[in-house]
């Protein structure tokens, strides 16, 4: 390829930025996350002062023999996240996190999403086994009210916008019980739109799981962990090039590695407290951060998390972890047994990758005694063998490198050297086929997420997977220089889907590609 001297200089300059920024400006490389810390411009709250909020469970507007029907309006709302200050959120029904949707396995769920925000949106059900037209493809946009066509701030890629300000997302829910989440997936603007609040839980239940004696009801609690930063007036701070999110996409150069907030929120509250009895609780932990990774631990005593489920549902048998490394978009379904503690004990959920305030996440306070009827059985679910033996008879192996790419002088991120192009197909697996996908990450950490499918991690860095790689996954955490082989069956639906890095700044800067199930 011939490039002009001017372009060469631009690329060279961009390359220089690329090489020096992560070392000098990423103040948080010591925090184990790829990204740059964005300091709040207001006083941060004291930790452990506010109760843990639980997002409301959404009621269907109607149900019939075929489906449960829900309605959600994406709109601006106000939240008191910092004491005495108002924060504008862009949320599902105006709240952050959005309302929790609960579905039964194999029972159709239809969600009518209305866009009352000033920007286009697209909603992806993360972990959902969803037909392509309801999957939230990045250019499958719901337009803002009053804009008929094509105003998506990205002229050349603005097709797919329906010109309507609502859309029915149809979820057949042909999948196991699992903790899913839904979030914005608008092309080029996912990072800032999720940062403003467009994220919520979607929990799938089934008979297999109901039959287990795991903690239930008010002892089955979703925990959405994410980091944010705040401006002087309490508004969310984010380094967008165009804060209206209606023009040029992207973030200031210093933040192209990712945006790290300095305030840790759980279910939208800063460093909250949950009062518990001295019994077992089940927590569905989600890392909904843009760029921050966490290493979860309990103090004092480094008590264990008993993992019962991964992103794709129940494990075959529980796994005890002293620490859990959780990348963006990953979920860990864990049981914590508070029966070992005296009433009055305080147990902290720590982030061993954090420093100072970001080393804390939340606090559990044991306030009462209670009889516990729950248990964690030694066998949880029948798991299909899907391992190296299956791999030996798998179809093809594909390799994908997640790294920086130069594009017209601007540094971006890409897969196999290519920035995202909705028209380009990176893979065309056959429906029902099994393949090995081999991912490599450099020079930053890249959690790799596939839409539609769940997979198992076969190997990591040529050796055995980590304990946290166990079970069915839809996102695999790769730190800089790591590689992993995963085994995937392309079941479900034919059509076009994306796979991408779930560092949302990387995703917005094009670290995404298409696959089409044929
Ligand atoms: Cu990445």
Mean pLDDT on 100-122: 98
> What is the Å distance from ligand 1's center to 264 Cα?
21
- 388-425, pLDDT tens digit by residue? 777 777 789 999 999 999 756 677 999 999 999 999 99
Whether pLDDT at 318 is above 70: yes
Place 383 in a pLDDT band, splitting at 50, 70 and 90: confident
> What is the Å distance from ligand 1's center to 447 Cα?
6
Whether pLDDT at 5 is above 50: no
Q: What is the pLDDT of residue 32?
A: 80
> What is the Å distance from ligand 1's center to 442 Cα?
9
Mean pLDDT on 87-116: 98
Closest to 166 measured CA to CA, from 74, 282, 50, 51: 74
- 206-234, pLDDT tens digit by residue? 999 999 999 999 999 999 999 999 999 99
> What is the Å distance from ligand 1's center to 22 Cα?
13
Say how far apart CA 257 and CA 24 lie, in whole Å. 12
- 460-498, pLDDT tens digit by residue? 999 999 999 999 999 999 999 999 999 999 999 999 999
> What is the Å distance from ligand 1's center to 504 Cα?
8
Residue 218 near residue 165 (C-beta atoms within 8 A): no
Q: Encoding tokens for residue 458?
A: 């076969």
Place 242 in a pLDDT band, splitting at 50, 70 and 90: very high
- 57-75, pLDDT tens digit by residue? 999 999 999 999 999 999 9
Of residues 473 and 384, more confidence is placed in 473
Percent of the chain with pLDDT over 90: 85
Residue with tokens 């990176």: 426
> What is the Å distance from ligand 1's center to 511 Cα?
7
Say how far apart CA 429 and CA 56 lie, in whole Å. 39
Say how far apart CA 194 and CA 88 lie, in whole Å. 13
Residue with tokens 């089934």: 206
| Phi, psi dihedrals of residue 299, rounded to the nearest 5° | -130, 145
Q: What is the pLDDT of residue 395?
A: 81
Place 243 in a pLDDT band, splitting at 50, 70 and 90: very high
Place 387 in a pLDDT band, splitting at 50, 70 and 90: confident
E-assigned strand segments in 259-358: 259-260, 263-266, 269-270, 273-277, 280-287, 294-299, 305-310, 313-321, 324-326, 331-337, 346-351
> What is the Å distance from ligand 1's center to 250 Cα?
15
- 154-176, pLDDT tens digit by residue? 333 333 344 579 999 999 999 99
> What is the Å distance from ligand 1's center to 485 Cα?
17
> What is the Å distance from ligand 1's center to 295 Cα?
18
Q: What is the DSSP secondary structure assignment for residue 359, as one 8-state letter?
A: G
> What is the Å distance from ligand 1's center to 109 Cα?
31
Place 146 in a pLDDT band, splitting at 50, 70 and 90: confident
> What is the Å distance from ligand 1's center to 129 Cα?
23
Closest to 289 measured CA to CA, from 502, 510, 74, 44: 502
pTM: 0.91
> What is the Å distance from ligand 1's center to 373 Cα?
43
Q: CA 364 → CA 46, 278, 295, 336, 367, distances in Å?
A: 16, 11, 17, 10, 9
Instruction: Provide CB contacts within 8 A for 181, sequence distance 6+.
Output: 125, 126, 127, 199, 200, 201, 202, 224, 286, 288, 329, 331
> What is the Å distance from ligand 1's center to 510 Cα?
10
Instruction: Provide CB contacts within 8 A for 24, sequence distance 6+.
Output: none
> What is the Å distance from ligand 1's center to 73 Cα?
30
> What is the Å distance from ligand 1's center to 146 Cα?
35
Q: What is the pLDDT of residue 393?
A: 78
Q: What is the pLDDT of residue 1?
A: 31
Whether pLDDT at 20 is above 50: no
> What is the Å distance from ligand 1's center to 330 Cα?
14
Whether pLDDT at 10 is above 60: no
Q: What is the pLDDT of residue 386?
A: 80
């Amino acid at each position: 390829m011939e490039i002009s001297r001017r372009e060469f200089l631009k690329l060279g300059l961009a390359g220089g930025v690329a090489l020096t920024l992560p070392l000098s400006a990423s103040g948080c490389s010591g925090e184990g996350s790829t990204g740059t810390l964005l300091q709040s411009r207001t006083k941060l709250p004291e930790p452990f002062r506010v109760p843990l909020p639980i997002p409301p469970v959404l009621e269907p507007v109607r149900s019939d023999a075929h489906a449960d029907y829900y309605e959600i309006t994406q709109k601006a709302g106000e939240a008191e996240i910092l004491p005495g200050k108002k924060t504008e959120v862009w949320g599902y029904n105006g709240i952050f996190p959005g309302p929790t949707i609960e579905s039964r396995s194999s029972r159709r769920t239809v969600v009518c999403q209305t866009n009352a925000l000033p920007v286009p949106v697209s909603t992806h059900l993360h972990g959902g086994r969803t037909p392509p037209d309801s999957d939230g493809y990045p250019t499958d946009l719901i337009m803002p009210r009053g804009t008929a066509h094509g105003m998506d701030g990205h002229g050349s890629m603005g097709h797919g916008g329906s010109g309507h300000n609502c859309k029915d997302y149809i979820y057949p829910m042909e999948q196991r019980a699992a903790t899913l989440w839904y979030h914005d997936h608008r092309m080029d603007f996912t990072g800032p739109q999720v940062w403003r609040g467009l994220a919520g839980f979607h929990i799938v239940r089934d008979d297999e799981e109901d039959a287990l004696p795991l903690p239930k009801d008010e002892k089955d609690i979703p925990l959405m962990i994410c980091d944010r930063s705040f401006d002087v007036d309490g508004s969310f701070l984010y380094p967008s090039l165009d804060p209206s999110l209606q023009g040029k996409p992207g973030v200031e150069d210093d933040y192209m590695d990712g945006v790290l907030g300095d305030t840790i929120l759980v279910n939208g509250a800063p460093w909250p407290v949950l009062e518990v009895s001295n019994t077992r609780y089940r927590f569905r932990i989600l890392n909904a951060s843009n760029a921050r990774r966490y290493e979860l631990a309990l103090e004092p005593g480094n008590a264990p998390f008993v993992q019962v489920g991964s992103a794709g549902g129940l494990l075959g048998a529980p796994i005890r972890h002293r620490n859990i490394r959780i990348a963006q978009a990953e979920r860990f379904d864990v049981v914590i047994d508070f029966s070992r503690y005296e009433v009055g004990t305080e147990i902290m959920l720590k982030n061993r990758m954090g420093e100072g305030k970001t080393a804390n996440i939340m606090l559990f306070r044991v306030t009462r005694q209670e009889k516990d009827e729950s248990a964690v059985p030694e066998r949880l679910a029948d798991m299909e063998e899907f391992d190296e033996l299956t791999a030996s008879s798998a179809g093809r192996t594909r390799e994908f490198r997640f790294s920086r790419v130069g594009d017209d002088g601007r540094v971006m991120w890409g897969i196999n050297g290519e920035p995202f192009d909705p028209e380009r197909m990176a893979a065309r697996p056959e429906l029902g086929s099994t393949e090995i996908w081999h991912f490599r990450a450099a020079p930053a950490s890249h959690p790799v997420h596939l839409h539609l499918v769940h997979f198992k991690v076969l190997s990591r860095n040529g050796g055995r997977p980590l304990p946290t790689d166990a079970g069915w996954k839809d996102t695999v955490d790769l730190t800089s220089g790591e590689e992993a082989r995963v085994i995937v069956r392309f079941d479900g639906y034919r059509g076009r889907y994306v796979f991408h890095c779930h560092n949302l700044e990387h995703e917005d800067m094009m670290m995404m590609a298409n696959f089409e199930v044929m």
